Amino acid sequence: MNQGVKRWIRRLLGSILLLFVIWEMWILAQVLWWRSHEPQRTSFMNIRSEARLAMGHPDILPHPWVNYEHIPDGLKRAVVAAEDTTFVSHSGFDWEGMRIALNKDLRRGKAVAGGSTITQQLAKNLFLSGQRSLWRKAQEAIITVMLETTWSKRRILEVYLNVIEWGDGVFGCEAAATHYYHEPLETITAAQAARLASMIPSPRYFDRHGESEKLLQKTDTLEVRMTQVAIPK
């Protein structure tokens, strides 16, 4: 390989590295801004909005922001119990949960189990697409570290509850309470909170099909478990 080709390769690699650093710094700048400001739209909201409009459906519903102290503790506990029981103690990754999920996937021969923490899910919702790839998983891990390093657990859970999808075009806990119960978020019961948390893995499915025996069983189980988990103060 001659010197000219080597120089060209070094420059190309240098340019790729520079673009990667610029991209990560842009993401970090948004992470730092959102530490004290409300995200108006997430990447996933934009994706769902474009999909709905392309099908001739109305845009996603308004998603009023609810500060952490005004979100019922019952909903916080239900979501943590359903999605990430070690949320307050881990540093962004539940290694044991990931090992269990991987074993399930290997036994079934395909990716079916979860294992992502609340922080990982938030990283994906804020910045990434739903496509599965090694690049996306690597980027998710980087953003997860950014969030855990610069935000408090309280802030992570607050933003998560305000931006995740809870139905077809329904985002955030206030919109979910209005959509399903026709009442303000602050008035929902523990059972209603458990039901909302039970819907998170497949919100559009449950929005279309309503209550099922499986959902009711999961809600009953979760209503017991939610009293046993810790939440950020």
Domain chopping of the chain, boundaries: 1-34, 35-228
Query: What's the CATH class of domain 35-228?
Result: mainly alpha
DSSP letter, residue 35: T
pLDDT tens-digit series, residues 83-128: 999 999 998 998 876 677 666 656 665 555 456 999 999 999 999 8
CB burial string 36-69: b at 16+ within 10 A, e below: eeebeebebbeebbeeeeeeeeeebbebeebebe
pLDDT tens-digit series, residues 11-56: 878 888 888 889 999 999 999 999 999 998 999 999 999 999 999 9
Are 192 and 176 in contact by the 8 Å Cβ rule? The answer is: no
Which has more confidence, 211 or 231?
231
Q: What does pLDDT average to over the chain?
A: 90
**Nearest CA-CA partner of 127 in 147, 150, 149:** 147
pLDDT (0 to 100) of residue 214: 87
